[in-house]
Amino acid sequence: MEIIDIVYIEGDGIGPFVMEAAMKVWNAAVGYVYNGSKKINWIEAYAGKKSLEKNGSLLPDETLKKLKEVKVGIKGPLETPVGSGYRSLNVALRQKLDLYACIRPVKYIPGIKAPVKSPENVDIVIFRENTEDVYAGIEWEENSKEAIEVIEFLNEKFKINLHNASIGIKPISEFRTKRLMKMAIDYAVKNNRKKITIVHKGNIMKYTEGNFRKWCYEIAEEHKDLIDKNSIEINDVIADNMFQQLLLKPEKYDILVTPNLNGDYLSDAAAAQVGGIGIVPGGNIGDEIALFEPTHGTAPAIKDPKMANPTSLILSGVMMFEYLEMKEVSSLIENSLKKCIKSGIATKDIMPDNPVSAVKFAAKIIENFN
């Protein structure tokens, strides 16, 4: 029997409830496809509120060590308590493990109520840079010693006149941009995607997002033979126009490559078109390590977390099994989940009139394997 190690982090809020449901589906699918010849060895690691209570740390070194050793992990949503020392645990994990590509496939699932007329036209994959841009977290509060020093420096050195302002720095580099674009090209080739659109605000921010655009085109030119061989079109769209295009002509777009903040906005906006972030998966991938996660948060507004929707996490597992080259498992889970929803079986956010719990939803997905 082949044993496949995967690290998991339960998560906070609804995390343990959606993780329980998702685990049932993943384990059943692996058992169904491989009939005992392969098995997942789940290795628990800790982060967030549960970790703070257990280990006195929101993000222990042991968790990072496990992920670096095992190379593949999946997590539930994490809460970052106020005053914790981290702006976001999710961002901290991405940066500490150099998971530079946030990949979010957005595709409509028939049977889900969506706010647009033709949600079935949305089938895109967003590659969002994960380690730079405003999420790098370089900023100083108004009237702080650091902000005053930066303002004085800008005034004295460059004659830029600012008064009583908070200051943020937006780094975008050639190396980190090009490796993201290269990953998007490789993904397009592997998954038969035919168009890559670079999304930027380079008309205004010429040396950050403008260079993001330039460097993406440069890496495309370096791999021109591969792009031409696979008939991949490369183009670019200004970020604000991209929101309009996504609403009016989503069928014309395939893969979007974006700096961090643009990708954050666009991935949530695209998810809204197909029914919300509760049904869209996500993965954070670097050169050596991959950590998959749902796109939603801990959902404190849900009064009964047993009724939370595990779809985003289950489909993040689908992405994970694809990454592990276990495509039969991925296809089985995805097709069975779609059958469930199409037949009217789902959690409250999808089927408010006749909802099932997360665990019962998982059981129905497993029933559809046969």
Known binding site: residues? Answer: 88, 90, 94, 104, 128, 264, 309
SS3 284: strand
Of 133, 201, 254, 364, the active-site residue reads 201
Residues 150, 344: Cα–Cα separation, whole Å: 57
Of 135, 187, 254, 364, the active-site residue reads 135
Of 12, 133, 264, 349, the active-site residue reads 264
Provide the annotated binding site for D-threo-isocitrate.
88, 90, 94, 104, 128
Residues 181, 258: Cα–Cα separation, whole Å: 9
Of 61, 240, 287, 304, the active-site residue reads 240
In 3D, which of 342, 234, 330 has the Cα closest to residue 283? 330
In 3D, which of 77, 109, 82, 117 has the Cα closest to residue 93? 77
Is 287 known to be catalytic? no
Provide the annotated binding site for Mg(2+).
264
DSSP labels, 102-127: EEEEEE--TTS--SSS-GGG-EEEEE
Residues 149, 154: Cα–Cα separation, whole Å: 9
Provide the annotated binding site for NADP(+).
309
Strand partners, 39: 3
CA angle 236, 267, 95 (to 5 degrees): 95
Residue 255, CB-side half-sphere exposure with 13 Å CA sphere: 26
Is 264 known to be catalytic? yes
Residues 362, 307: Cα–Cα separation, whole Å: 12
In 3D, which of 47, 87, 79, 84 has the Cα closest to residue 63? 47
Q: Which residues are catalytic?
A: 135, 201, 240, 264
